[in-house]
């Protein structure tokens, strides 16, 4: 990766159908959940209180689904070189990520494969796993391969449920 | 209490104006472990072609969540917050959120259907500037366990 290049724009991804994107591994700890609660405004206690989490039938404190989704977006932005290239991103939350009260936390792995490339837009399918188990379903994104747009791009065409 | 059958198709009032600050963008990015200077340093953002620091791709949830909270806590709707699980989420961006934006979200309930003792509430929240520039459409599907449902 060549991120220090003196270019007014970041490098554009050179992807073709079937490109396997390098696996990204991120760690989540209780401290991350607390930081995310503060930054996002989602203060649901199942994301910080074992007492409340177990009372509603969870095995323990679980990560916000939106953190797991955001780690997928972090991988997409890293692969694409610029977050503005990620114009459409959707997931289903299929399995909670349990985060223990220790200093190690849990590892979340994000894998991506480029599907069709059409008119400068790549369809990327993501696999997001924790301990070998998939935690997001139908995770997919549209990534612009050309220059980062400075004007508004296309409007929404369809919906999350497909 | 069953959900109001007239909920589908209902549009809720626009949320209060939300001033997006550089500090807020950096804090959101840092909570995700993001060290890319594009989120933390306006000079780096501008070098990459942006007018200010952009929010990460899921940042619009901060604005959309305000609209979702208004839906979930509306006493007329009949949702019990502790029974709600986030089932699906999608963002379709017209452009990134930038520090300096003043944004509001308008939520519409697209559909409500029941399956296995659960209400599935499909929503869309349009996030736009106060001058009407569209920024992002955030779709959220909320699963609401029906109290006294089949217990699944």
**Interface check B18 vs A, CB under 8 A:** no
Domain presence at residue B72: yes
User: Which domains, ranges and CATH numbers included, belong to chain A?
Assistant: 20-144 (3.10.129.10)
Euclidean distance between CA atoms B102 and B98, whole angstroms: 9
Instruction: Please check whether residue B94 lies inside any domain of the structure.
Output: yes
For residue B95, give its domain range: 5-20+56-145
- Cα of B147 to nearest chain A Cα, Å: 13
Which pLDDT score is estimated for B152?
A: 41
To the nearest whole angstrom, how far is the Cα of B90 from the nearest Cα of chain A? Answer: 4
Q: What is the DSSP letter of B98?
A: B
From residue B116, how far is each of B85, B86, B152 by CA, in Å? 14, 16, 7
Is B27 domain-assigned?
no
Q: What ipTM was estimated for this complex?
A: 0.94
What are residue A118's phi and psi, to 5 degrees? Answer: -135, 120
pLDDT tens figures, A47-75 = 999 999 999 889 999 999 999 999 999 99
Q: pLDDT tens-digit profile of B95-109?
A: 999 999 999 999 999
Closest to A65 in 3D by CA, of A15, A114, A136: A136
Q: Which residues pair with A49 in a beta bridge?
A: none
B56-101 per-position pLDDT tens digit = 999 999 999 999 999 998 988 888 877 888 999 999 999 999 999 9
B101 within domain boundaries: yes
**Rounded average pLDDT over A102-117:** 97
Q: Distance between CA A60 and CA B81 in Å, rounded? A: 19
Q: Do the chains contact at B57 and A8, CB–CB below 8 Å?
A: no
CA distance B103 to chain A (A): 15
Asked if the structure places residue B28 within a domain, the reply is: no
CA distance A60 to A49: 8
> Nearest Cα to A93, choosing from B93, B88, B19?
B88
- Tell me what pLDDT residue B143 has: 94
Q: CA-CA-CA-CA torsion for A88, A131, A48, B29, nearest 10 degrees? A: -40
Task: For residue A92, give the nearest of B28, B88, B93 by CB distance.
Answer: B88
CATH number, residue B65: 3.10.129.10
């Amino acid at each position: 990766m060549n991120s220090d290049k003196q270019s007014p724009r970041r490098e554009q991804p050179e992807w073709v159908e079937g490109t396997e994107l390098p696996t990204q591994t991120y760690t989540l700890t209780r401290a991350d959940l607390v930081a995310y609660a503060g930054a996002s405004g989602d203060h649901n206690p199942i994301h910080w209180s074992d007492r409340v989490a177990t009372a509603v039938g969870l095995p323990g404190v679980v990560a916000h689904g939106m953190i797991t989704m955001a780690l997928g977006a972090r991988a997409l932005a890293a692969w694409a070189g610029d977050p503005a290239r990620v114009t459409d991103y959707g997931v289903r939350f299929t399995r909670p990520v349990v985060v223990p009260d220790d200093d190690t936390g849990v590892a979340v792995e994000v894998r991506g494969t480029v599907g069709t490339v059409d008119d400068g837009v790549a369809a990327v399918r993501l696999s997001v796993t924790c301990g070998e188990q998939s935690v997001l379903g139908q995770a997919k994104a549209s990534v612009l391969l050309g220059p980062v747009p400075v004007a508004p791009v296309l409007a929404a065409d369809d919906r999350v449920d497909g | 209490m069953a959900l109001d059958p007239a909920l589908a198709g209902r549009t809720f009032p626009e949320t209060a104006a939300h001033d997006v600050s550089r500090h807020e963008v950096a804090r959101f990015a840092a909570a995700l472990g993001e060290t890319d200077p594009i989120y933390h340093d306006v000079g780096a953002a501008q070098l990459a072609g942006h007018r200010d620091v952009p929010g990460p791709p899921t940042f619009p949830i901060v604005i959309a969540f305000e609209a979702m909270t208004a839906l979930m806590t509306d006493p007329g709707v009949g949702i019990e917050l502790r029974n709600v699980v986030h089932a699906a989420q999608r963002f379709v961006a017209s452009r990134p959120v930038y520090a300096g934006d003043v944004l509001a979200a308008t939520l519409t309930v697209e559909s409500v259907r029941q399956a296995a003792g659960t209400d599935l509430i499909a929503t869309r929240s349009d996030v736009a500037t106060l001058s009407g520039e569209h920024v992002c459409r955030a779709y959220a599907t909320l699963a609401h366990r029906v109290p006294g449902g089949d217990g699944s």
